[in-house]
Amino acid sequence: MAAVTEWLQERAAHYDLFDETEVDQQRYTPWFLLGPMQYFFFLIILFTGFYLVIFYVPTPYRAYDTVQDIQNIVPLGWLFRGLHKYAADAFLITSTMRVYRMYFTAELRKPKELTYITSVGLLVFGMFSGLTGYLLIWNQRAFWATKVFATFPTYLADPYFAQYLHIPNFQLGRTISEVMLGGASLGPGTLTRFYAGHYALSLILMILAEVHFQRMGSRRLNMGRFSQLLFLGMLIFVAAVLPATMGARADPFQTPERMFSDWYFLGLYHMYRLQDPFWATIITVVIPVGAMAVAFFERGGSRRVLDRPMTFVFGMLAMFYWLLFSHLLITNHADIHKDPYWIMSLAGIFCLVGMFWHIAHFKKKGLIRPFPDMVDGVMLSWAAAGFISFMHFAWGAGLVKSYGPILKPLSIWGGYEPVFFTIPSGKIEWWSDKVNTQMLLIIGGVALIMFLYGTLKDLPSRWANRKAAWKDEIPPPVTVGVDRRYALFYVGFFFVLIYVACFGLIS
């Protein structure tokens, strides 16, 4: 307990919520403007949200009409609604960019782990605030996208402890779904719950941010007047040129042919199309937890991203898949029998290339790879995926029934029909779906290669130099071309904002 307290105190002394201790870095690069941008857009969301609350009625019979009145009748309603929507989009864009900035520049290392974890948490906060917010329009897209997302937990089987302790009617997945929906199905209770949640999430963040600023005694908005006016002008321009859309009124009895979420959930929704619902629900939880855990596997080498090859490859792979999945959802390409196989194959190839490059780079520099670092983190994730897949495989083949309660929980968590093969009379008979068996071999093979090469290759040097000290090589600040770089930053951000707004019109 004392070690945990000491760890928290050390990180709290260097804790940033919106880059308030990194103001000096803004002289050298515009990327440290992302934290103040987050807070600036958050303030706009709060201000415009308070105005919209005055006119909004959170019932299925009046919600769509009141939003339509805000857009067309309420004085400046179209502007406040546009600013609210596009400031939320801008908040998510800056949150994503800030997470990647901290990841690629090694800001997530000691003593900034807690700041990085918070930045991932702010991104998750923004996504779930958006999820609760766009249902309030009560149109077809929001209704059916929310229905898909909120009903996925029902596929979760009860955990082993509930069955072992004979807890009646535990129903973990259904309970989670009903908490989200406010009942057994999407209806008035869902709208009321999402409305309260949307308001409460922003209010809680505002209170926590104010407590943080008071505790640290730091300035709240570390951004110049020019930047504030420029970003506000961008939002007003987009709201005027591309007004926030309404879509068709929600109809529970008419399922749309194409079902879009908002832009930041597109990749996740495509993953839902390619996975068994049980595993899709588990992966939804694992992704943000895994992103936070990276802070404890980013340990060695300089802060230049190309001096940390596995970090670079893994980050680019995550970005590539998010963009690819979003594109595939928009273009309606999904084959559940083929896509998972090549997706896992490609990821395995990239991970192996990154691992070989990573270890070779450290050897070339004459450095000793720390433990654990990104290679070990990816190795553990692949090994865990391979182990879980093997346990489900063994359960389907009837191999784990005699192993007792130690392995039984894993088979219960995978509570659906086996899809690999059975072994009647000692003879292997393949089932029709072989993709899952191929994926098991890919995951297990990659994990084994990473373990054997990564561990055995590093073992001699680690044994001989386990007390070696690591020093970060911080590159000198660049002061040339600051104005031009800021101009490019502003233009690039404006382009991304316009692109996101155009997607809203298309969907």
Instruction: Report the pLDDT value the prediction gives residue 223, as an integer from 0 to 100.
Output: 84
- Give me the residue label for tokens 């590159």: 475
- pLDDT one-digit tens code per residue, 46-64: 999 989 989 988 888 888 8
Highest mean pLDDT: which range of 200-209, 278-287, 455-464: 200-209
- Which position has the higher pLDDT, 260 or 449? 449
Identify the pLDDT of residue 453: 80
Question: What are residue 421's phi and psi, to 5 degrees?
Answer: -160, 165
Residue 498 above 90 pLDDT? no
Q: Is-contact 109 472, C-beta < 8 A? A: yes
The pLDDT value given to residue 398: 54
Q: List the chain domain ranges.
A: 18-255, 262-464
Q: Which residue has the higher pLDDT, 498 or 167?
A: 498
Asked whether the predicted pLDDT for residue 433 surpasses 50, the reply is no
H helices within 217-265, ranges in order?
225-241
pLDDT digits (tens, 9 = 90+) for 354-365: 888 888 888 777
Predicted confidence band of residue 507 (pLDDT cuts 50, 70, 90):
low
Sign of the dihedral defined by the CA atoms of residues 318, 296, 356, 340, in that order: negative
**pLDDT score of 129 more than 80:** yes
Which helix (H) or strand (E) segment is 422 a member of? strand 421-422
Q: Is residue 270 a contact partner of residue 283, using CB atoms and an 8 Å limit?
A: no
How sure is the predictor about 86, in pLDDT bands with cuts at 50, 70 and 90? very high
Mean pLDDT, residues 454-473: 58
pLDDT of residue 424: 40
What confidence score (pLDDT) does residue 117 get? 92
In this model, does residue 10 exceed pLDDT 60? yes
Ranking 190-204, 242-256, 412-426, 459-473 by mean pLDDT, the lowest is 412-426
Closest CA to 375 of 475, 455, 301: 455
Residue 150: name the closest of 194, 108, 110 by CA. 194
Q: How far is CA 458 from the centre of its chain?
A: 32
User: Among 421, 416, 414, which Cα is nearest to 398's?
Assistant: 421
Q: Residue 148: pLDDT band by 50, 70, 90 thresholds?
A: confident
Rounded CA-CA distance 463/126 in Å is 45
The answer on pLDDT for 399 being more than 70 is no
Cβ atoms of 151 and 179 closer than 8 Å: no
pLDDT tens for 201-251 read: 888 888 888 888 888 777 778 888 888 899 999 999 999 988 888 888 888
Q: Mean pLDDT across the stretch 384-389?
A: 76
What does the chain come to in residues?
507
Q: 18-255: which CATH topology? A: Cytochrome Bc1 Complex; Chain C (1.20.810)
Provide the percentage of residues in the chain whose pLDDT is more than 70: 80
The pLDDT of 249-259, averaged and rounded, is 76
Alpha carbon 333 to chain centroid distance? Answer: 22
φ/ψ of residue 169, rounded to 5: 55, 40
Q: Which two tokens stand for residue 105?
A: 């520049």
| Encoded tokens for 197 | 């949640």
pLDDT of residue 92: 93
pLDDT in tens, 160-172: 545 555 556 666 7
Distance CA 308, CA 465 (A): 20
What local confidence, expressed as pLDDT, does residue 12 receive? 77
Rounded Cα distance between 234 and 489, Å, is 13
Token reading at 77: 């309603």
Q: What is the mean pLDDT of the chain?
A: 78
Whether omega before 111 lies within 30 degrees of 0, making that bond cis, reads yes
pLDDT value of position 406: 46
DSSP string, 317-374: HHHHHHHHHHHHHHTT---TTTHHHHHHHHHHHHHHHHHHHHHHHHHHTT----SS-H
